[in-house]
Amino acid sequence: MLRSSVASKKDYYEVLGVERTASEEELKKAYRKMALKFHPDRNPGDKAAEEQFKVVNEAYSVLADAEKRKSYDLFGHAGPAGGAGGFDFNQGGFSDIFGDIFEEFFGASAGGRARTRAQRGNDLRYNMTITFEEAYFGKEAKIRLRRPEACSACKGTGAKGGATKVCPTCGGAGQLRFQQGMFAVSRTCSQCRGEGRIISESCPQCKGERYIARDKTISVKIPPGVETGSRLRVMGEGEPGLNGGPTGDLYVVLTVEEHPQFSRDGDHILCQVPISFVKAILGGKVDAPTMKGPTAVKIPPGTADGKIFRLKGLGFANIRGYGIGDELVRIKVEIPSKITAKQRELLEEFAKISGESIDPDSGKLFEKVKNLFE
């Protein structure tokens, strides 16, 4: 009879839907999924689900125990079968997993533990607009924001003089116990929020709210190289935590204004510099604007419209410390809309020397030159 009973059992690895090489974490994850699926409180009145829930528990109780798993791998159900009937919820991660399952169902943890653990405060966001120059050079900014802070009169207790009394709803336990199916679980008391005590008399300054909104000026260092969308984290300047938890952080989100002369491409600065068509032909020098002042750029003879010159190291500093970008100067050859008679005469002479015919009826020479550069 023992052989037939053992032989009829389904493979534990198949029960949990894992490979035989599954890690401890993979077993735990698979068990939690199956336990949630077949839990009696999710399947009221379903005997098949209840039986499967027991099988899932049995499978995990064996595979989560290193010795039992080794025996099972060698001898199958005949190995650990003798000890698989009772489950030790303190081994193999049962207590942690069942805590997760109870939270899934009831919003409370297992074992009667109160959920009054410290909680981190919320983060705050502050939107800031800065100029192109400030993004390039960086700056020290002062921002003023309004945020809740612990009441100084009651030190964040909400009670006048710190006076509290035992919660009448939970009797000071911080939790209310309930019977859910075959399990006894606890829920956090809604009146005292798990603290076990309530305020006897509210603090007159914060009206029992524990916190008071106050204005605060905070210094924020904006490093060179930031751009629109950059987030600066100021640690510990968010909302206060609950039950002694740490304060949240402040995130300053930046928007960089456009510049009338420059634009940006990553860490590079782009600008356009106009030159005459004469300088484009003959060459020369031109002062290109940069964030650090004018810089001379040598224009070689025959420079075409749209030619780009690179000024090394005059772009933005990389915010992550990967060097400095360049400034890219794009040449724009300008053609005057009007010329004098003398200028026309010289251009026509230039055309004759160059062997270019001039047809007065088919357009001006000046227009041909203009079209050439455009």
Q: Tell me the domain boundaries of the chain.
A: 10-76, 119-150+213-258, 259-373
* Residue recorded with tokens 């025996």: 71
User: Tokens standing for 2?
Assistant: 């023992």
Binding residues for Zn(2+): 151, 154, 167, 170, 189, 192, 203, 206
Q: What integer pLDDT is reported at residue 180 of this predicted model?
A: 55
The answer to whether the CB of 186 falls within 8 A of the CB of 175 is yes
Q: Please, what is the average pLDDT of the chain?
A: 81
- H or E, element range at 23: none
Q: What integer pLDDT is reported at residue 367 of this predicted model?
A: 57
Q: What integer pLDDT is reported at residue 86 of this predicted model?
A: 44
Q: What is the mean pLDDT of residues 316-333?
A: 94
Cα separation, 34 vs 41, whole angstroms: 13
10-76 and 259-373 share one CATH topology? no
Residue 319 has pLDDT above 70, yes or no: yes
Residue 18 has pLDDT above 50, yes or no: yes
Binding residues: 151, 154, 167, 170, 189, 192, 203, 206
State the architecture of 10-76 in CATH terms: Orthogonal Bundle (1.10)
164 against 330, higher pLDDT: 330
> pTM of the prediction?
0.57
Would you place residue 85 in the very low, low, confident or very high pLDDT band (cuts 50, 70, 90)?
very low
Nearest-5° Cα angle at 328, 323 to 329: 150
Would you place residue 362 in the very low, low, confident or very high pLDDT band (cuts 50, 70, 90)?
very low
CA atoms within 13 A of residue 7's CA, in its CB half-sphere: 4
Q: What integer pLDDT is reported at residue 3 of this predicted model?
A: 39
Instruction: Determine the 3-state secondary structure of 121 from DSSP.
Output: coil
Residue 4 has pLDDT above 50, yes or no: no
What CATH number has the domain spanning 119-150+213-258?
2.60.260.20
Would you place residue 338 in the very low, low, confident or very high pLDDT band (cuts 50, 70, 90)?
confident
Q: What integer pLDDT is reported at residue 182 of this predicted model?
A: 53
pLDDT tens digits, residue range 100-145?
555 555 444 444 444 456 788 889 999 999 999 999 999 999 999 8
Q: Give the ranges where 17-137 is alpha helix by DSSP (H).
A: 24-38, 47-63, 66-75, 94-106, 132-137
195 against 332, higher pLDDT: 332
Q: What integer pLDDT is reported at residue 336 of this predicted model?
A: 84
pLDDT tens digits, residue range 23-62?
888 888 888 888 888 887 778 778 888 888 888 888 888 8
**Rounded (10°) angle between helices 94-106 and 24-38:** 40
What CATH number has the domain spanning 259-373?
2.60.260.20
Q: What integer pLDDT is reported at residue 270 of this predicted model?
A: 97
Q: What is the mean pLDDT of residues 176-189?
A: 67
Cα separation, 58 vs 240, whole angstroms: 45
| Distances, alpha carbon 191 to alpha carbons 66, 70, 85, 115, 158, in Å | 44, 49, 41, 13, 14
Cα separation, 353 vs 367, whole angstroms: 18
